[in-house]
Structures are given as structure tokens and as C-alpha cells.
Structure 1
Amino acid sequence: MKTFIILLRGINVSGKNKIPMATLRDLLNDLQFKNVQTYIQSGNIILESDKKKEVISKEITTSIKTKFGFEIPVFVKTIPEWEKALNNYPFSIENEKIVAFCFLDKSAKETRIDIKNIGEDQYKIENDVVYLNCISGFGKTKLTNNVIEKKLNVIATTRNFKTTKKLLELAKK
């Protein structure tokens, strides 16, 4: 049995794609996943399964569409993949409030993208993660999920440092 960290993109944001976490946990338990936990309301899940990542993603996507009527991207990561993302963060973590990880549905072909007016904000594209250092703050940065998706032709979901670190802690318990 392996432990996985699952990210759902775009749920419970501005009243759209609402999924109560208790209902989501019940749904995942019904799919025979083990030790299902959720963290905050934005689609962060830890669970155990013997299934492959692709199967887990497909089952969750299909079940959410059937139960709630909308389709959302589902990202499935192993603990080693999550640790690698955290350990490879290339910028200072002195100010955790400006640190984020943008997880991609596939490895990016590019390592640089043209984004106008990013000021002091920094990014680094490494395979299926874009590391963000948003010195201007997340409310002002041009390094948004939508811009990254458009520029890299991927589906992406972003988590801040606190959430990324906490998910690993929960997964390793």
C-alpha cells in the first residue's frame, strides 16, 4: 500500500465547483481508498492505495463528475515526488509567505517563458513543477496559475509553501 498526495484543481473557489470535504472523504472511502484525509477546503487529499497513479486520478475524476456534475483536474503524487519538489526549491525560503509550487499535469517542454512585468518575482521550471518566489506577493504577481497554463500549454494547480509542507507531514504520519 502506497501513500499518495492528491490535488484537485479549482474546487471551492469563489463559490464554484463546491465539494464539501466530508462528502469528498466519503466518496473516496467508497472507492476503497484507505486512510483518507483532507486538508483545508481547497482539494488537498492524502490517501493510501495499491492502484497506479493514473488509475487513482481517473477514478477520482469520474466519481466527482458523477456525484457533483463537473470535471476537474486531479493531480496524484507519491511521497518521493513530493519530497523532491520541496527539496529542489531553488530560491530562499526565508519568507515562506512568498513561496509556492505550481504542479503541472505533465513535464514542461520549456524552461523559460516570456511573462511581462514580473518585476522581482522569480520562477524556475523543472519538469512538472514551476517553483515560484513571488516577492511582490501573490495578489500582485504576474506568475499566476492561468498564465503558467497558457504559456506552457499544461494544466496546473498551485499550493503555497505552508500547504505543500503540511501535506508532506500528514502523508508521512
Structure 2
Amino acid sequence: MTAFAALLRAVNVGGTGKLPMRDLVTMCERAGLSSPRTYIASGNVVFSSDAKEADVKAKLEEALQAYADKPVAVLVRTVDELSAILADNPFPGASSNKVMVLFLDDAPNARDIDAVSGQKNEALHLGKREIYIHYPDGMGRSKLKVPAAAHGTARNMNTVAKLTSMAAEVEAT
């Protein structure tokens, strides 16, 4: 079995997209995913499965569509991919709560960086299927707009590290 993390887009943010995490665990179990565990109430869940990533994504998106009566995007990574994201952090000296990982389904390209606006002192770096963003003054003060974010979901490095650890625990069981 492979350990995965699923990151839901626009869940429990700003009073919209409410999804109790116990309901998410139940959805995962009904979808045949093993040992689901959630982390903070913003749509993070780890589990294991024999299914391929695309099948896991499709199962979760179908269950979430039925639950929410609207599409809910899900970004899926294996525990190995999460570990690589941590290892490849291009801003290792920065505070981990000021480095965001924008998870995407496909590989980003230079156009994704060229399309940003409002950039002041933020730094962006392309990853395999993610964009790393360093917000030296904090995300809350930034005016940075990243159009690629409309197709992804972001987590800070603290969350990525925790999900990696949780997924490794699930894989070990």
C-alpha cells in the first residue's frame, strides 16, 4: 500500500466550504481508503491505498461532489513526493511558516511565474508539481497574486512537514 496526502481546495476557509473532518474521514473510508487521518480543519487528510494517485483523486472528488453538491478540487501526493517537496525547499533558511507550497496537478512553468502581479519582496520557485513561495513579511501583508493558485491549493512548510510525518506513520501501519 502507498501512503498519500490529499489536500482539498477551498475547504473551511472564510466560512465557505464547511466540511467537518470526521465527515471527510468517513468519505475516505467509504471510498476504500485505509487508515484516514485528518490534520487541522482545512482539508488535509492522509491515508493509504493500493489505488493509483489518479484513481484516489477521482474517488475523493466524486465523494466530495456528492457531499457538497459542487466540485471540490483535491490535490494528491504520495509520502515520497511530500518528502521530496520538503527536501527540495529552495528557501531552507526562511521561517517555515513564511514559505508556502502551492500544490498543482501539473508541472508549473515559467509563464506561471511571469503571470504574478503585486510582487514586492516575495520570491517564487518552480517545483515538480508545485510552486514554492517565500513571503518574507508574511502572507497576510503581501499583495502578491499568483494566477496559478486558481488551480491549486497552498500549505505552509509546517503543514507539509506534519502531513509528511503523518503519511509516513500511515505507511508504516
Query: Partner amino acid for 1:69?
Result: D
Tell me, yes or no, if the aligned pair for 2:126 and 2:132 is still in contact at 8 Å: yes
Give the SS at the match of 1:172: helix
Aligned to 1:148: 147
Distance 2:29 2:118 in 1: 45
Matches within 5 A, 1:32-111: 32-110=32-110
What does the per-residue CA deviation read over 1:126-150, in whole Å, with 9 as the maximum and x for residues that have no partner? 2311111101211122344xx2327
Query: Partner amino acid for 2:9?
Result: R
Compare the two structures and name the one with the higher helix fraction: 2
State the Cα distance separating 1:114 from its structure 2 match.
Answer: 4.3
Relative to the length of structure 2, the TM-score reads 0.90
Give the SS at the match of 1:24: helix
Gaps of 5+ in 2: none
Aligned to 1:172: 168
Tell me, yes or no, if the aligned pair for 1:6 and 1:77 is still in contact at 8 Å: yes
Distance 1:45 1:32 in 2: 14
What does the per-residue CA deviation read over 1:37-94, in whole Å, with 9 as the maximum and x for residues that have no partner? 0000111010010001111111111111112212111111111111111111111334
Aligned to 2:8: 8
Tell me, yes or no, if the aligned pair for 1:102 and 1:156 is still in contact at 8 Å: yes
Distance 2:100 2:132 in 1: 6
Give the SS at the match of 1:36: strand
Distance 2:137 2:115 in 1: 18
Instruction: Give aligned pairs, total.
Output: 168
State the Cα distance separating 1:117 from its structure 2 match.
Answer: 3.9
Tell me, yes or no, if the aligned pair for 2:123 and 2:135 is still in contact at 8 Å: yes
Task: State which drifts further: 111-120 or 130-139.
Answer: 111-120
State the Cα distance separating 1:105 from its structure 2 match.
Answer: 1.5
Aligned to 1:131: 132
Aligned to 1:27: 27
Cα RMSD between the aligned structures?
Answer: 1.7
